[in-house]
């Protein structure tokens, strides 16, 4: 984001003191490989689901009152040819006065905040085991995750992830999106916390992201609150090859931010 430019202070109450086991480095490496493989399978499975995404960002004054607002409700679905599409259901005229959403903010919303750490992404990150913690009665391995290097316009996750010690899938993540845009003057990106729930008895799907942070810009500070809800997951049944919109390359997305960056 840039000033008018977006983000979360999640409660990052870190770990309980209990460590489930005395894990060797070989044990830790094995857990990382296994949960990354599970995450890869989950990522492919999620691409076969439709769902509704409701995203809201509010500017707040010192008393916590809303002074500006952006909202977008989208249905992630498939067209008649089986192409994955994003249909905007509701998008009121933004009333943000102090921040401007950038293309990086929209990419973070789509791909970084519902963070998935797959086998193919492992080489891009440093991963350090921090311990074992109970999260809502779920035993979790906790890992610090940090990109090894920042390249091009790619967006990365930097923070912590909680991995279910039974299903070996991420159930919570806390951190921020990083990339070259973070180094530009007057860009600021929030910390966020994303929670997942087991939707189909097998995979843990992102269901809620919260950010409540103060963005520090050169001229002023802006307090913001962001919420994203992912709801109504339904599996799409088709043997058709899935692409995003009219694009053949499945890695390329048609992104149209609702608010353009100032020159």
Q: How confident is the model at residue 17 (pLDDT cuts 50, 70, 90)?
A: very low
Is residue 28 pLDDT above 60, yes or no?
A: yes
Q: For the chain, what's the residue count? A: 263
In a domain, 261, yes or no: no
Q: What average pLDDT does this structure show over 80-104?
A: 92
Residue 3 pLDDT grade (very low, low, confident, very high; cuts 50, 70, 90): low
- For residue 38 the two structure tokens come to 């599970």
- Inter-CA distances, 232 with 75, 199, 200, 238, Å: 10, 10, 12, 18
Whether 249 is in a domain gets the answer no
Domain count, the chain: 1
Q: Mean per-residue pLDDT for 203-229?
A: 96
Q: Quote the pLDDT of residue 185.
A: 83
SS3 (DSSP) at 37: helix
CB 193 within 8 A of CB 13: no
**pLDDT band at 187, cuts 50/70/90?**
very high
Average pLDDT over residues 18-34: 84
What's this model's pTM, rounded to 2 decimal places? 0.81
pLDDT at residue 238, as a whole number = 55
> Model confidence over 63-78: pLDDT tens digits?
999 999 999 999 999 8
Residue 252 lies in a domain: no
Is beta strand 191-198 parallel, antiparallel or unpaired with respect to 138-147? Answer: unpaired
Residue 99 above 80 pLDDT?
Answer: yes
Is pLDDT larger for residue 49 or for residue 14?
A: 49
| Residues 148-159, mean pLDDT to the nearest whole number | 96
| pLDDT for the residue numbered 252 | 41
Q: What's the burial of 54, exposed, middle or buried (CB within 10 Å: 0-12/13-18/19+)? A: middle
Which domain covers residue 165, as residue numbers?
2-11+24-235
Longest pairwise C-alpha distance within the chain: 54
Distance of CA 35 to CAs 23, 117, 126, 161, 172, Å? 16, 8, 15, 11, 13
In the numeric block, the tokens 């809502």 are attached to: 136
Give domain status of residue 241, yes or no. Answer: no
8 A C-beta contact, residue 241 and residue 247: no
User: Is residue 231, in this structure, part of any structural domain at all?
Assistant: yes
> Do 146 and 158 meet the contact criterion of CB atoms below 8 Å apart?
yes
Report yes or no on 73 lying in a domain: yes
Q: What is the pLDDT of residues 110-152, one digit of tens each?
A: 999 999 999 999 999 999 999 999 998 899 999 999 999 999 9
The answer to whether residue 242 is domain-embedded is no
Q: Kindly state whether residue 16 falls inside one of the protein's structural domains.
A: no
Distances 60 to 109, 191, 213, 223 between C-alpha atoms, Å: 20, 16, 10, 5
Separation in Å, CA 196 to CA 121, 163, 203? 20, 11, 9
């Amino acid at each position: 984001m840039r000033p008018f430019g977006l983000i979360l202070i999640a409660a990052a109450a870190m770990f309980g003191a209990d460590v489930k086991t005395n894990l060797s480095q070989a044990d830790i490496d094995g857990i990382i490989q296994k949960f990354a493989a599970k995450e890869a399978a989950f990522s492919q499975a999620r691409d076969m689901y439709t769902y509704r995404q409701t995203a809201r960002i509010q500017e707040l004054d010192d008393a916590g009152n809303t002074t500006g607002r952006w909202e977008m409700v989208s249905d992630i679905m498939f067209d008649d040819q089986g192409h994955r599409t994003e249909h905007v259901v509701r998008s009121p005229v933004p009333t943000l006065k102090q921040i401007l959403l950038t293309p990086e903010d929209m990419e973070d919303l789509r791909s970084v905040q519902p963070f998935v750490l797959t086998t193919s992404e492992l080489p891009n990150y440093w991963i350090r085991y921090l311990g074992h913690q109970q999260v809502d009665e779920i035993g979790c391995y906790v890992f610090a995750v940090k990109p090894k290097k920042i390249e091009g316009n790619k967006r990365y996750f930097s923070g912590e992830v909680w991995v279910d010690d039974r299903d070996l899938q991420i159930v919570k993540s806390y951190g921020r999106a990083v990339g070259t845009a973070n180094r530009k003057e007057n860009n600021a990106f929030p910390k966020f916390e994303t929670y997942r729930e087991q939707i189909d008895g097998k995979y843990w799907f992102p269901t809620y992201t919260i950010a409540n942070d103060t963005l520090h810009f050169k001229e002023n500070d802006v307090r913001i609150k962001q919420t994203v809800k992912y709801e109504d997951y339904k599996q799409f049944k088709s043997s058709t090859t899935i692409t995003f919109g009219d694009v053949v390359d499945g890695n390329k997305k048609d992104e149209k931010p609702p608010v353009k960056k100032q020159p």
